[in-house]
Amino acid sequence: MAIQKPFSKTQIFLFLIVLVNVAVFVTSKSTIEPCSNADSCNALLGYTVYTELKVSEVASLFQIDPIALLTANAIDISYPDVENHILPSQLFLKVPITCSCVDGIRKSVSTHYKTRPSDTLASIADSVYSGLVSADQIREANSISDPSVLDVGQTLVVPLPCTCFNGTDNLLPAIYLSYVVSPEDTLAGIAARYLTTLTDLMNVNAMGSTAIKAADILAIPLPACASNFPKYAQDYGLMVPNGSYAITASHCLQCSCGPGSLNLYCQPASLAVSCSSMQCKNSNLIVGNVTVQQSGGGCNVTSCNYGGFVNGSIITTLSSSLQPRCPGKRIDAIMYCAAWLIKRNKTIEIGCTCRFLDIT
């Protein structure tokens, strides 16, 4: 994936587009990032489930891999038949998407929606896609002359907001979340929730004050762990938001980020798939293994690391270093998220802070 030089967030080129919601006569604003190259990046959408839906049904709304949806939200993919479990209405999810450069601005145009009886452009925009898009944007993207007439089964392009900003925030790796402001939100509250600052949010969104309104769409930078895989690797440019993980290398490896460290940590995934060797050369270690040995000068640490997926093979690298003190023992790199499974109706409820379990 080619890397585009970023537009400065303080430059005049960052502008706000005004979207008019005719139904309630409210003006909402969305941050738009200009672009000039045909590159893309990974981004996130803040999506509120509008009715009880299976994991696979939410993924289908955005045409993404259900596994990617689960890992973006730190849900353990080892649950039996997890893709068919039901997500409750009003659950907030982070939806991973590809953010492209289209007509000179960043947006995602890979989502398509097939209309159903009783659908209107407003219901699709405000309910099904939880305000991430407006009825007017759908109408314009599909050249609809009469928005009151929709054919059942008609396929619509759903343009969705996203930003890249070169995958950085204050020169550190970041993935951007497009977030729809709720009536009870304040900018300070949003900043605290996503571990950023008022100043940063205002700069990213070119805001002159802290005032926000319901239905505004903000770009929120989320700290992330960046990979350094070679450009010829299939997963080149892999970046994982803090507090989540990703499945890569043909579902063979799980790469996690934070919250204690913003260094990408990869280990074998729990999925039952056939994988190439994960062993580091000249050692008995496999990807994710670490050995420590106390010495007079500190602690000798040897680790087997993941270096990218190339032509069906898992690239491994063995690294050794002398550290002042031995690191804590990592029990397991998988996120332990309190995602309770109610087996009688296969509903997943999420209400926790995800964390790594370490012994120091």
Q: Report the C-alpha gap between 316 and 287 in whole angstroms.
A: 7
User: What is the CB neighbour count within 10 angstroms for residue 312?
Assistant: 10
Per-residue tokens: 290: 């670490």
Per-residue tokens: 230: 């070679």
Domain coordinates in residue numbering, the chain: 15-222, 227-327
Residue among 79, 94, 58 nearest 346 (CA): 79
- Residue pLDDT tens, the chain, 360 long: 444 444 454 343 344 433 333 333 345 789 999 999 888 999 999 999 999 999 999 999 999 999 999 999 999 998 889 999 999 999 999 999 999 999 999 999 999 999 999 999 999 999 999 999 999 999 999 999 999 999 999 999 999 999 999 999 999 999 999 999 999 999 999 999 999 999 999 999 999 999 999 999 999 999 999 999 999 999 999 999 999 999 999 999 999 998 888 999 999 998 878 999 999 999 999 999 999 998 888 999 999 999 999 999 999 999 999 988 887 765 443 444 433 333 334 444 444 333 333 322
Amino acid identity, position 355: R
Per-residue pLDDT, 261: 87
Per-residue pLDDT, 329: 60
**Three-class SS string for the chain?**
CCCCCCCCCCCCCCEEEEEEECCCCEEEEEEECECCCCCEEEEEEEEECCCCEEHHHHHHHHCCCHHHHHHHCCCCCCCCCHHHCEECCCCEEEEEEEEEEECCEEEECCCEEECCCCCCHHHHHHHHCCCCCCHHHHHHHCCCCCCCCCCCCCEEECCEECCCHHHEECCEEEEEEEEECCCCCCHHHHHHHCCCCHHHHHHHCCCCCCCCCCCCEEEEEEEEEECCCCCCCCCCCCEEECCEEEEECCCCEEEEECCCCCCCEEEECCCCCCCCCCECCCCCCECCCEEEEEECCEEEEEEEEEEEEECCEEEEEEEEEEECCCCCEEEEEEEECCEEEECCCCEEEECCCCEEEEEC
How much is the pTM? 0.84
Per-residue pLDDT, 27: 53
Per-residue pLDDT, 45: 99
Per-residue pLDDT, 351: 41
Per-residue pLDDT, 330: 54
Q: Report the C-alpha gap between 103 and 45 in whole angstroms.
A: 20
